[in-house]
Amino acid sequence: MNSWLKAQGLPERYHTATFDRELAIRRTDAEFMALGHPFIDAMLAYVGSYDFGGLTAIREIKAPEMVGADGFLFIFVVRHRIAREDGDEYLFELAPVFSTAEGKVDETALGFAMRYTTGSGASSVKPPDPGVAFLAVKKHLEQKAGIWDWDEDVEFIGLSWVVFK
Protein backbone atom coordinates (compact mmCIF):
# COMPACT_ATOMS: atom_id res chain seq x y z
CA MET A 1 0.00 0.00 0.00
CA ASN A 2 2.73 2.48 0.89
CA SER A 3 4.46 1.83 -2.42
CA TRP A 4 1.16 2.48 -4.18
CA LEU A 5 0.84 5.81 -2.36
CA LYS A 6 4.41 6.74 -3.26
CA ALA A 7 3.70 5.92 -6.91
CA GLN A 8 0.84 8.45 -6.72
CA GLY A 9 3.26 11.09 -5.38
CA LEU A 10 1.62 11.10 -1.94
CA PRO A 11 3.34 11.15 1.44
CA GLU A 12 3.28 8.01 3.59
CA ARG A 13 1.80 9.93 6.52
CA TYR A 14 -0.38 12.92 7.21
CA HIS A 15 0.40 14.19 10.71
CA THR A 16 -2.41 16.69 11.10
CA ALA A 17 -5.55 15.74 9.23
CA THR A 18 -9.29 15.69 9.87
CA PHE A 19 -12.52 14.53 8.27
CA ASP A 20 -14.44 17.20 10.23
CA ARG A 21 -15.14 20.27 8.08
CA GLU A 22 -15.73 22.60 11.03
CA LEU A 23 -12.45 21.56 12.66
CA ALA A 24 -10.60 22.05 9.38
CA ILE A 25 -11.98 25.60 9.20
CA ARG A 26 -10.84 26.35 12.76
CA ARG A 27 -7.45 24.62 12.43
CA THR A 28 -5.74 25.93 9.33
CA ASP A 29 -2.79 23.59 9.99
CA ALA A 30 -5.04 20.50 9.58
CA GLU A 31 -5.57 19.00 6.16
CA PHE A 32 -9.25 18.47 5.40
CA MET A 33 -9.67 14.91 4.14
CA ALA A 34 -12.66 14.93 1.79
CA LEU A 35 -13.53 14.19 -1.82
CA GLY A 36 -11.13 16.16 -3.95
CA HIS A 37 -8.18 15.78 -1.59
CA PRO A 38 -5.39 13.89 -3.41
CA PHE A 39 -5.18 11.21 -0.68
CA ILE A 40 -8.94 10.51 -0.63
CA ASP A 41 -9.11 10.45 -4.41
CA ALA A 42 -6.11 8.09 -4.54
CA MET A 43 -7.71 5.77 -1.96
CA LEU A 44 -10.96 5.64 -3.92
CA ALA A 45 -9.00 4.84 -7.08
CA TYR A 46 -7.03 2.15 -5.21
CA VAL A 47 -10.05 0.33 -3.75
CA GLY A 48 -11.61 0.34 -7.19
CA SER A 49 -8.52 -1.19 -8.81
CA TYR A 50 -7.62 -4.84 -9.29
CA ASP A 51 -4.49 -4.27 -7.17
CA PHE A 52 -6.69 -3.90 -4.09
CA GLY A 53 -7.90 -7.51 -3.99
CA GLY A 54 -11.21 -6.72 -2.36
CA LEU A 55 -10.87 -7.99 1.24
CA THR A 56 -12.52 -5.13 3.06
CA ALA A 57 -13.24 -6.58 6.48
CA ILE A 58 -12.83 -9.36 8.95
CA ARG A 59 -16.06 -9.62 10.91
CA GLU A 60 -16.93 -11.56 14.04
CA ILE A 61 -20.63 -12.30 14.37
CA LYS A 62 -22.17 -13.69 17.54
CA ALA A 63 -24.34 -16.53 16.28
CA PRO A 64 -23.71 -19.68 18.36
CA GLU A 65 -25.82 -21.78 16.00
CA MET A 66 -23.39 -20.95 13.16
CA VAL A 67 -20.05 -21.64 14.91
CA GLY A 68 -17.77 -23.47 12.50
CA ALA A 69 -19.46 -22.08 9.39
CA ASP A 70 -16.85 -19.35 8.85
CA GLY A 71 -16.35 -18.21 5.30
CA PHE A 72 -16.21 -15.41 2.76
CA LEU A 73 -19.02 -12.99 2.04
CA PHE A 74 -18.71 -11.82 -1.56
CA ILE A 75 -20.75 -8.84 -2.72
CA PHE A 76 -21.43 -8.38 -6.43
CA VAL A 77 -23.68 -6.23 -8.57
CA VAL A 78 -25.13 -8.11 -11.52
CA ARG A 79 -26.28 -6.26 -14.61
CA HIS A 80 -29.25 -7.71 -16.47
CA ARG A 81 -29.93 -6.47 -19.98
CA ILE A 82 -33.53 -6.36 -21.13
CA ALA A 83 -33.92 -5.95 -24.86
CA ARG A 84 -36.84 -3.71 -25.81
CA GLU A 85 -38.10 -2.38 -29.10
CA ASP A 86 -37.22 1.16 -28.07
CA GLY A 87 -33.73 0.23 -26.79
CA ASP A 88 -32.03 -1.86 -24.19
CA GLU A 89 -32.73 -1.36 -20.50
CA TYR A 90 -30.40 -2.43 -17.72
CA LEU A 91 -31.41 -3.54 -14.26
CA PHE A 92 -28.86 -3.87 -11.48
CA GLU A 93 -29.15 -6.46 -8.72
CA LEU A 94 -27.13 -6.66 -5.51
CA ALA A 95 -25.91 -10.27 -5.33
CA PRO A 96 -24.29 -11.37 -2.05
CA VAL A 97 -22.94 -14.94 -1.94
CA PHE A 98 -21.42 -16.73 1.07
CA SER A 99 -18.87 -19.52 0.63
CA THR A 100 -16.61 -21.52 2.91
CA ALA A 101 -12.89 -21.39 2.16
CA GLU A 102 -13.29 -24.84 0.59
CA GLY A 103 -15.82 -23.53 -1.94
CA LYS A 104 -19.16 -24.65 -0.46
CA VAL A 105 -21.84 -22.01 -1.08
CA ASP A 106 -23.94 -21.65 2.09
CA GLU A 107 -27.32 -19.87 1.91
CA THR A 108 -27.94 -20.22 5.68
CA ALA A 109 -24.64 -18.56 6.57
CA LEU A 110 -25.42 -15.87 3.99
CA GLY A 111 -28.62 -15.05 5.84
CA PHE A 112 -26.74 -14.63 9.12
CA ALA A 113 -23.88 -12.68 7.54
CA MET A 114 -26.30 -10.26 5.88
CA ARG A 115 -28.68 -9.97 8.84
CA TYR A 116 -26.03 -9.20 11.43
CA THR A 117 -24.28 -6.24 9.93
CA THR A 118 -22.39 -5.34 13.07
CA GLY A 119 -19.47 -7.20 14.48
CA SER A 120 -16.10 -6.50 15.94
CA GLY A 121 -12.92 -6.58 13.93
CA ALA A 122 -10.90 -9.73 14.49
CA SER A 123 -7.38 -8.44 13.99
CA SER A 124 -5.74 -11.68 15.16
CA VAL A 125 -7.61 -13.71 12.53
CA LYS A 126 -5.80 -14.45 9.28
CA PRO A 127 -8.30 -15.42 6.61
CA PRO A 128 -7.46 -18.19 4.16
CA ASP A 129 -6.91 -17.55 0.46
CA PRO A 130 -10.28 -16.77 -1.17
CA GLY A 131 -9.37 -18.34 -4.55
CA VAL A 132 -11.27 -21.64 -4.19
CA ALA A 133 -14.27 -19.88 -2.65
CA PHE A 134 -14.32 -17.31 -5.48
CA LEU A 135 -14.42 -20.01 -8.18
CA ALA A 136 -17.35 -21.72 -6.41
CA VAL A 137 -19.16 -18.41 -5.93
CA LYS A 138 -18.61 -17.44 -9.56
CA LYS A 139 -20.07 -20.75 -10.79
CA HIS A 140 -23.02 -20.43 -8.37
CA LEU A 141 -23.79 -16.86 -9.43
CA GLU A 142 -23.45 -17.65 -13.14
CA GLN A 143 -26.04 -20.43 -12.78
CA LYS A 144 -28.36 -18.54 -10.42
CA ALA A 145 -28.37 -15.26 -12.34
CA GLY A 146 -27.97 -16.71 -15.84
CA ILE A 147 -24.82 -14.72 -16.56
CA TRP A 148 -23.40 -14.99 -20.07
CA ASP A 149 -20.46 -12.62 -19.89
CA TRP A 150 -18.91 -12.36 -16.42
CA ASP A 151 -16.59 -9.46 -17.25
CA GLU A 152 -19.37 -7.43 -18.81
CA ASP A 153 -22.28 -8.25 -16.48
CA VAL A 154 -20.75 -8.55 -12.99
CA GLU A 155 -19.07 -5.93 -10.85
CA PHE A 156 -17.14 -7.11 -7.80
CA ILE A 157 -17.94 -4.81 -4.88
CA GLY A 158 -16.24 -6.34 -1.88
CA LEU A 159 -15.22 -9.32 0.17
CA SER A 160 -15.12 -9.97 3.88
CA TRP A 161 -14.08 -12.95 5.98
CA VAL A 162 -16.84 -13.81 8.46
CA VAL A 163 -16.13 -15.63 11.71
CA PHE A 164 -19.14 -16.92 13.65
CA LYS A 165 -18.71 -16.94 17.46
Assign residue 25 the CATH number of its domain.
3.30.360.80
What pLDDT, in 10s, does the model give residues 122-151?
456 788 889 899 999 999 999 998 888 888
Tell me, what's the pLDDT at 137?
93
Q: Check whether residue 159 and residue 140 sit in a common domain.
A: yes
Q: Check whether residue 37 and residue 89 sit in a common domain.
A: no
What pLDDT, in 10s, does the model give residues 12-28?
788 888 888 888 899 98
73: domain range?
55-164
Q: Check whether residue 38 and residue 104 sit in a common domain.
A: no
Q: Check whether residue 15 and residue 60 sit in a common domain.
A: no
Q: Check whether residue 153 and residue 74 sit in a common domain.
A: yes
Q: Check whether residue 85 and residue 126 sit in a common domain.
A: yes
Average pLDDT estimate for 5-16: 81
Q: Check whether residue 70 and residue 126 sit in a common domain.
A: yes
Pairing between β-strand 55-61 and β-strand 71-82 as defined by DSSP bridges: unpaired
Q: Check whether residue 59 and residue 131 sit in a common domain.
A: yes
Contact 90, 80 (CB under 8 A): yes
Q: Based on the structure, what is the number of domains in the chain?
A: 2
Q: Check whether residue 132 and residue 154 sit in a common domain.
A: yes
What pLDDT, in 10s, does the model give residues 45-95?
776 665 666 667 788 888 899 999 999 998 888 888 888 888 888 888 889
Q: Is the pLDDT of residue 159 over 90?
A: no
Q: Which residues contact 31 (CB under 8 A, 6 or more apart)?
A: 14, 16, 17, 18, 24, 37
What pLDDT, in 10s, does the model give residues 88-119?
888 888 899 999 999 999 999 999 988 865 55
Domain finish residue from 47, 68, 83: 47
Nearest to 57 by CA among 106, 117, 144: 117
Tell me, what's the pLDDT at 122?
47
Q: Is the pLDDT of residue 2 over 70?
A: no
Tell me, what's the pLDDT at 50?
54
Q: Check whether residue 42 and residue 62 sit in a common domain.
A: no
Q: Check whether residue 72 and residue 125 sit in a common domain.
A: yes
DSSP E strands, the chain: 17-18, 31-32, 55-61, 71-82, 89-99, 120-121, 154-164
Q: What are phi and psi of 82, to 5 degrees?
A: -115, 115
Q: Using a cut of 0.85, tell me whether the model's pTM lies above it.
A: no
Q: Check whether residue 30 and residue 79 sit in a common domain.
A: no
